[in-house]
Amino acid sequence: MKRKGFRSLALTACITAIAPFAWGCGSSSDGKIEVEIVQYKPEAANYFKTVEDAFNASHDDIHLTISSPNDAMAILKTRFIREDYPDIIGIGGDINYSYFVDAGILADISGYEGMQNVNEGYLEIAEALELVPTDGTYILPYAANAAGILYNRQMFEEHGWQIPETWDEMLALCDQISAEGILPFYFGFKDTWTCLAPWNAMAVELAPADTTKQVNKGQTTFTKEYGELAEKYMALLPYGPDDPFAYNYNDACTAFARGESAMYPIGSYAAPQILSVNPDLKMDSFVMPASDEKEGRTLNSGIDLGFCVTADCKNKEAAYEVLNFLYADDTLQKYIDAQTSVPCKKGNFTLPVILDGMTEFIASGNMTDYQDHYYPSEMSVDALLQTFLIEKNKDAFLKNFDTSWQRYNRDIIRMVQEYEAAHGSAQ
């Protein structure tokens, strides 16, 4: 009797050992080349499903699979650990991209012909994201978003308010709006990442685009470069709700959609959430004015989605064929429409209505990347900013920024300085 029990235990052990083989993944090979894309924007899953279907319907030799998983970054990192690389990954132009380039995970696609059609502004942004300069290009910028100020157009028209072009004009406008009993801005600072939106939008005018790189090279400090920015940010606070740290992004979107404020300093990406609450809202955007000069203004815009081919990809030709399909004008236009974003490709695209106020900058390629695309996420600059806005101690904030930066970027700084020593800082 006893033995019977142990037999069942042994059986369990056997099942444990054998099962993996039974459930092992089967690969179907019907002679087609398999191309797999993992892209990180789950909100665009429907769009990519239609792209996948259209591609497979028109290609006999290549079979495309696009997955749009949730928390794709965790999934990608996990798969990299397992050395199980998709052929193409769709990611944003931020610090993760910089890390992936640095880790040698991505292939140089400068030879891909579609690169010719990329809006130069975004190519420069992509190049700048590399931790140390390389010869190659590793991302095909697809779509961008832009940050500035979203405003309630109906409200502006009714009151005859003008779009400000300088910092002083903006403060004057805020005073005027307040005087008429309306709240100028809404903030959702409970979600720390939203603290970065006005910061980035003002930084493009007030701090050098390559501030972080200069700091890494030891040429400047944040205390020097971010002083004015921090002061001006504080000056915006009185024009927002009483306790901005009580409201999260969702609250702020809802409040703005319901007309509780005239403006909302956030990116174009917020439009779908705002419109879901109030589909009839007439909303437009303008570039955040941060300095007193009308010359030299630039739009805060960065790569929201770009495609990278992995170094491990077996068939680059097939991958390029997929990129061609994705980058075709009408495919891209559909993405722009579905996601209210900005195309990174040159050509005549119909931009979303809410970007009307920014079109001029986009068309002329006058744009500067988000400062936060260079910040390592573990440093939590968003949380530092929130702390600063609560405590309003500029000097402590900047000092902390500098010391934290050195701490969190130690290895990168060493790498940059080694590179500088080897290549010289000559042009």
Partner 1 sequence: MKHTSSVGKSNKTVLVLLILGLSTIIFPLYMTVVIAFKQPSEMTNSISGILSLPKVWSLQNFREAMEVTDFWNSLKNSLVISGLTVGISILIHSLMGYTLGRNKSSKFYNFVYLFIVSGMFVPFAILMMPLAKQTAEMGLANWFGVILLYVVFYMPMNIMLYSGYLTNIPLALEEAARVDGASTWLTYWKIIFPIMKPMHATVAVITALAVWNDVMTPLIIMAGSSENTLPLAQLNFQSQFGTNYNLAFASYLLSLIPILVFYLICQKQILNGVVNGAVK
Partner 2 sequence: MSKHENERKRTFLLITIPILALFICFNTIPLIRGAMYSFTNSRGFGSHDWVGLRNYIDLFSDARVGKSYLFTIKLAIVTTVVVNVISLILALGLNSKIKAKGFFRGAYFLPNILGALVVGYIFNYFFTYIVPALADMTGLQGLSSSILSSPNKAWIGVMIVCAWQAIAMNTIIYISGLQTVPEDVYEAGGLDGATGWKQFKHLTFPLIIPFFSINMVLCVKNFLMVFDQIIALTKGGPAQSTESISYLIYNNGMSGGQFGFQSANAVVFFIVIVVISVAQMKFSSSKEEQL
At which residue do the structure tokens 């050395």 appear?
83
Complex with partner 1: residue 164 or 302, whichever CB lies closer: 302
From 100-108, 116-124, 151-159, 355-363, give the range in contact with partner 2 by CB under 8 A: 100-108
Does position 273 bind partner 1 by CB under 8 A? yes
Write out the two tokens for 211.
């501030």
Does position 53 bind partner 2 by CB under 8 A? no
- Residues 154 and 280: beta-carbon distance below 8 Å: no
291 binds, among partner 1, partner 2, none (CB under 5 to 8 A by kind): none
- Pairing assessment for the beta strands 149-152 and 283-286 based on DSSP bridges: antiparallel
103 binds, among partner 2, partner 1, none (CB under 5 to 8 A by kind): partner 2
Query: Least distance in Å: CB of 385 to partner 2?
Result: 10
Query: Least distance in Å: CB of 188 to partner 1?
Result: 11
Q: Which of 60, 135, 158, 242 binds partner 2 (CB under 8 A)?
A: 242
Query: Least distance in Å: CB of 389 to partner 2?
Result: 9
Does position 421 bind partner 1 by CB under 8 A? no
Closest CA to 138 of 290, 319, 375, 1: 319
Q: Which of 221, 333, 377, 417 binds partner 2 (CB under 8 A)?
A: 377
Does position 43 bind partner 1 by CB under 8 A? yes
- Residues 333 and 345: beta-carbon distance below 8 Å: no
Does position 139 bind partner 1 by CB under 8 A? no
Q: Which of 81, 179, 421, 422 binds partner 2 (CB under 8 A)?
A: 81
Closest CA to 305 of 9, 25, 42: 42
What distance, in Å, lies between the first and last C-alpha atoms of the chain? 84
73 binds, among partner 2, partner 1, none (CB under 5 to 8 A by kind): partner 2
Write out the two tokens for 290.
């941060």
Give the single-character DSSP code of 237.
G
Which positions from 136 through 195 interact with partner 2, judged by CB under 8 A? 190-192
- Pairing assessment for the beta strands 261-264 and 149-152 based on DSSP bridges: antiparallel
Q: Which of 7, 49, 258, 423 binds partner 1 (CB under 8 A)?
A: 258
Write out the two tokens for 342.
């900005």
Rounded CA-CA distance 376/27 in Å is 38
Complex with partner 1: residue 89 or 299, whichever CB lies closer: 89
Does position 102 bind partner 2 by CB under 8 A? yes
The full length of the chain comes to: 427
Does position 99 bind partner 1 by CB under 8 A? no
Q: Which residues contact 358 (CB under 8 A, 6 or more apart)?
A: 146, 148, 285, 286, 287, 299
- Residues 151 and 283: beta-carbon distance below 8 Å: yes
Does position 279 bind partner 1 by CB under 8 A? yes
23 binds, among partner 2, partner 1, none (CB under 5 to 8 A by kind): partner 1
- Sheet containing strand 183-185, strands side by side: 183-185, 261-264, 149-152, 283-286
Does position 23 bind partner 2 by CB under 8 A? no
User: DSSP of 338-367, one letter per residue?
Assistant: HHT-EESB-S--PPPGGGGGGHHHHHTT-E
- Residues 381 and 405: beta-carbon distance below 8 Å: no
Site mask for partner 2 (CB under 8 A), range 248-267, x = bound: x--x----------------
- Residues 187 and 260: beta-carbon distance below 8 Å: no
Q: Which residues bind partner 2 (CB under 8 A)?
A: 2, 6, 9, 13, 16, 73-74, 77, 80-81, 95, 99-100, 102-105, 190-192, 242-243, 245-248, 251, 376-378, 380, 383-384, 386-387, 390-391, 407-408, 411
Q: Which residues bind partner 1 (CB under 8 A)?
A: 1-2, 5-6, 16, 19-21, 23-25, 38, 41-43, 45, 67, 69-71, 74-75, 78-79, 81-82, 84, 86, 193, 250-251, 253-255, 258, 260, 267, 269-270, 272-273, 276-279
